[in-house]
Structure formats: C-alpha cells, structure tokens
Structure 1
Amino acid sequence: MSDGRIALTFDDGPDPLWTPQVLDALAEADARATFFVLAPRAAAEAALIARMQAEGHGVQLHAYAHIRHTKLTEETGAEDTDRALSMLSSLSVEPELWRTPWGVTADWTEDVAAARGLELVRWTADTHDWRGDSATAMLAAIDDEVADGAIVLAHDALGPGATRSGCAETVALVAPLVALARDRGLEPVTLCAGCPEAVCP
C-alpha cells in the first residue's frame, strides 16, 4: 500500500466538454482529485458537480468571477466570495478550501477566507497546461516535483489567459501522471482542510 500522497487539482471548470473527459480519465485510473470550481459554471453544469461528488472527488471554491484579488477591493472581493459560496451551497457543495484566481491574493484575502472558514490553497507543481503543451512535455516538466505531499495544478476548462484551444492534453496527462505517482509510492487523494501537507489520507 502507498505510504505517500499526492493531490491532482483542476481549476476553472466545470466545462461541459472537457470535465467529463477528465473525470473519465480519473475513473479509468481509479484516482481521486480536487476541483476548484467557478460558481456560475458549476451552476450551469450541476450534473457534473454531482458526478464529481459521487465519484469521490473534492469540490472546492475558486471564485464567482475569475478576477485577480489585487484588482478587487475587500468589499467587492467579499461579495464575489459570498455569491460563489451561496451558489455552490445550492448545489450541496460546502467548500473548506479556496484557491483564488491565478493563486493571487491581496491584503484582504486571508481575512475574508478566515471569516468564512476557508483555508487558502496553492500548488507545488504547475503543469502550465493552459499553454497547450503536450502531456509528455508537461509530465517531464513536473517530474522532479512529483513527490509526497505534492499538489499538482491543472485546468479542466479554458480559463482567462489560456492560449490553448482545448484540454485534450490535460486529459491525456492524467493516466501517465497517476502511473508515475504510484511508481513512487504516492496515491492520488483529495485535498482537505487542516490535513498534514494539505492532502487527506
């Protein structure tokens, strides 16, 4: 049995075309992941949110609007967060973790998070999949970072700033990344609040 853990995470979804393919790839690999969702997309794809939950994946907060916190006032940022949390709650999603858009925080972000019982989460390995790199290139780029406690960043939708036309290479990355992790004694697990190294056993 694996003694180590790794977290595969996906931002900016759900997407009606690409998220099902990511979920299929995870199911084929018998691996769990965490999805940091945009609330309007989640509301539009409620069946995908339900599928994520049914298949044992984590569903956590990304945002309502994908805007850098440094471009928002505290009041506007808090309103965005509350709007997102309310919309997600209507889908039976109660986030404990929050990955802000682009991972960017402002001087108010921690206070807004703490007031809502949210733990801020970043990543330790960035696939840069938004660029459209091949799955092989992405795997090679993060090879040294696939280690115990790693949090891998990928995207199951086309977010702002993406220069790729689709998420096919991210889908293709899932199986070899899971295989590499398991070769190193690491089991893909969901993220959770307050766990050592942020990944759940």
Structure 2
Amino acid sequence: MTPAVTLTFDDGPDPVWTPAVLDALDAAGARATFFVIAPRAAAHPALLERMHRAGHTVELHCDRHVRHTELREDQLAADTVTALARLDELGVRPRLWRAPWGITTPASEAVARAHGLRLVHWTADTEDWAGHAPDTMLRRVEDAICDGAVVLAHDGLGPGATRTGCANTVAVIGPLAALAADRGLRCEPLTSGAVATP
C-alpha cells in the first residue's frame, strides 16, 4: 500500500470557502476527507457532488455542532439519526464520524456502534480556526506528517472560530501536499480502517 497522509476538513460545506478548498486540492493533486455538518450539506448538494467527482470522501460531523459532553445519549442518538437521514437523501452514507471538537464520550461510542460508524480523530492539528498564517500552520504540523497522519483543518466557520474566513487554510493546502510528497506520501482520503481514533 502506498504511504499516505490524509487532509481532513470539518464544519463545511461553505458556499464560498469549500469551492476554494476544492480548487486548492485539485491543483495539488490531493484527495481529502470532508466531515460535514448535515444541514450545510443539504443546503449545498452540488458541493458534495463535486467532492465525490474529485475522489474525495464525505463523512459525518454532526447535525448540530454541540459537544457530546453536553448531550444525553438519547439526544446524541437523535442528532445522529437526523444527520444521517439528511445525508442519505443526498446519497451519502458515512462510515466515519468525527465528533465536534473531537470530544467523545461513552455515549458517542454506543451511538457509533448502533449506526456502524467508526469514530476518528486526528494526529496533527493546523489550528486554522484561529486564523494562523499558512507558514505557522505548516510549522505546527510538519513534524507529524508521516505515513498514516491525519491532518485537521476546516472548510467552514464553526462555533469557536476566531477568524473571518478560510483563506489561510486554502493557502496552506499546496505546501502541505508538497511536504507530504517530499516525504514520499500521497494525500488520500481516510478509509474505514482509519487509525486516528479518539
């Protein structure tokens, strides 16, 4: 199997920034995984179609972007059912699930099992939500770019973001892909055998 790293994007799709992220991925020859907020996905189905056409994968983030620690198991189950139903209407059937803020609980694990989902985390965090410059983000993750690395970034503005746009995220994609290539790594989507677990 070819050594690979995965670029992942949470909190989208966004009608402005997701197309720019997709353009940057295409220019870099990189394929990625998008963990989508279901109502945003339902509002922008053409972006999901574009993701699939380009060889990216679309997985579950949430319906409401709420920490799992703030939800009872029945509330988390209801949120997940709603999100999966919205995505199913778009022809998307996730197998991977990244919780908001990456925070999981025993309830997360129970709900994941009930729906055949695998909870996944990340091994390198760009902290792009804070609005860091592209070179700062690259330095944050460069030591972690290795076979099996899972890089966290965002193609949408989620709760807690302190930036006003995703331009710096778009700008770091090319350098990240180039760094991976220099290390003999391809940028490929996550699979259901993903190892970055919470």
Measure how far apart 1:104 and its partner are: 0.6
Cα-to-partner distance string for 1:68-110 (whole Å, 9 max, x where unaligned): 0000000000000000000000000000000000011122110
Measure how far apart 1:194 and its partner are: 2.2
User: After superposition, where does 1:7-22 map in structure 2 within 5 Å?
Assistant: 7-22=6-21
1:133 counterpart residue number = 132
Runs of 4 or more, structure 1, over 4 Å off, are none
1:39 counterpart residue number = 38
Measure how far apart 1:36 and its partner are: 0.0
In structure 2, distance between residues paired with 1:30 and 1:148: 17
Provide structure 2 residue ranges, at least 5 long, that are not aligned to the other structure.
none
In structure 2, distance between residues paired with 1:177 and 1:3: 18
Measure how far apart 1:3 and its partner are: 3.6
In structure 1, distance between residues paired with 2:184 and 2:193: 23
State the identity as a percent.
Answer: 58
Provide structure 1 residue ranges, at least 5 long, that are not aligned to the other structure.
none
Measure how far apart 1:141 and its partner are: 1.2
In structure 2, distance between residues paired with 1:194 and 1:186: 18
1:167 counterpart residue number = 166
- The answer as to 2:53 corresponding to 1:50 is no
* Aligned partner of residue 154 in structure 1, secondary structure: strand
For 1:16, the aligned partner's letter is P
Q: In angstroms, what is the RMSD of aligned CA positions?
A: 1.0
- The answer as to 2:195 corresponding to 1:185 is no
Q: Structure 1-normalised TM-score?
A: 0.96
- The answer as to 2:104 corresponding to 1:105 is yes
Measure how far apart 1:30 and its partner are: 1.2
Q: Structure 2-normalised TM-score?
A: 0.97
1:155 counterpart residue number = 154
